[in-house]
Structure 1
């Protein structure tokens, strides 16, 4: 019996998100030079740069905890997870509350920016193998996604008008819930929830902003401020 491991069978598509361009560039260079099993396909200094990239969604995102864009870390993690990307939060603020919030939202790891780059590469590989990185032994309380807002129809940045029900369905869906779970949260049937999301997609399509795929719909939600 023999074991063959002569190189990466699959190159993982990696995005790096940090508001300091020097950090982004240095991490990208390290992965390019020393981690042949990763392709750095997105380097972004803002959340909008990431979700608007034609390369999004990716396989894994190295994401800074604190970004000056007003979108919470929970919403950013859930949006990435809903699009199929795993997330490692890389931060200079290693406090228990931020760690628990990130892990509860679905991050695979919460690590310090002071780690050597080679350790971060190893962590990324472990995450892509399906491992959840170790964290502080503290018990998490039950947390759900934030309650979407209520009120009059919402006009998005390009004039798309969503009804309160359509907005609520979009917020839940973009935060990672399935269509069935959206219906359960809204106390409506599956077909009704599906109709709300279909109407949202149709309204975006009419103004030339594609939203047929899940990743596209998440991108529209991020662009129009529905991830808060």
Structure 2
């Protein structure tokens, strides 16, 4: 069984240790660090090296910003799962725009938290109602101006279908589907919304309502 190296950043020591103990109950998760700030984690290169996932409290007391924290962590090739009390939509919105895998409330039932960490560790996007609420009506989400056909192709491709299946379901050739995906990526890039990977495209599709948030009607 593969084991994923996970770090937890939360400046409430008792809370952090409690959650670290909880996450360590997942056999495939190895909690390698429990620290109060991003700087503390990165100050020990041997500790930070090879971390697969960082669970980041959005409200830290060191005057750091969410965007800076996520950028610094992603620069180490670690994925980031935002962890929050859920009382500040601006913080959640900043986290979502910065490229986190998802936004999860600390108050969620244990089974939900463990499932989110397990899925985030393997690179899955955690699309929660909190994330959807934070992005709803976000004035900083620039419109990529996708055509109806581009939205149709994106909805299938981002949901997991490969190009041949998308071609079959849309009546397009495989080469045309690939060209549509290239154009969709380009349009998102032009408005400052990364779309380099399939996970990025999945996030953009969620943000723009092209795909539904899992668990919502």
Superposition TM-score tier, normalisation by shorter sequence? 0.5 to 0.7
3-state SS of the aligned residue for 1:100?
helix
CA offsets, 1:139-170, max 9 Å, x none?
55358xxxxxxxxxxxxxxxxxxxxxxxxxxx
The partner residue of 1:126 within 119, 122, 142 is 119
- 2-structure distance, mates of 1:70, 1:107: 20
Comparing both structures, which one devotes a greater share of its residues to helix?
A: 2
* Number of the residue aligned with 1:11: 3
- 1-structure distance, mates of 2:112, 2:100: 17
* Number of the residue aligned with 2:66: 73
- 1-structure distance, mates of 2:54, 2:72: 11
Q: 1:132: Cα distance to partner?
A: 1.2
Cα–Cα, structure 1 residues 46 and 130, in superposed 2: closer, same or farther, change >3 Å? closer
Question: What is the TM-score with the length of structure 2 in the denominator?
Answer: 0.57
Q: Given that residues 101 and 125 in structure 2 are in contact (C-alpha distance below 8 angstroms), is that contact kept between their aligned partners in structure 1? A: yes
Map residues 155-166 of structure 1 onto 2, 5 A cutoff: none
Q: Indicate the RMSD between aligned Cα atoms, in angstroms.
A: 1.8
* Number of the residue aligned with 1:197: none
Unmatched runs of 5 consecutive residues or more in structure 2: 143-217
Cα–Cα, structure 1 residues 72 and 61, in superposed 2: closer, same or farther, change >3 Å? same
* Number of the residue aligned with 1:96: 89
Q: 1:124: Cα distance to partner?
A: 1.4
- 2-structure distance, mates of 1:85, 1:97: 23
* Number of the residue aligned with 2:169: none
| Number of positions where the alignment pairs a residue of Structure 1 with one of Structure 2 | 134
Question: What is the TM-score with the length of structure 1 in the denominator?
Answer: 0.54
* Number of the residue aligned with 2:33: 42
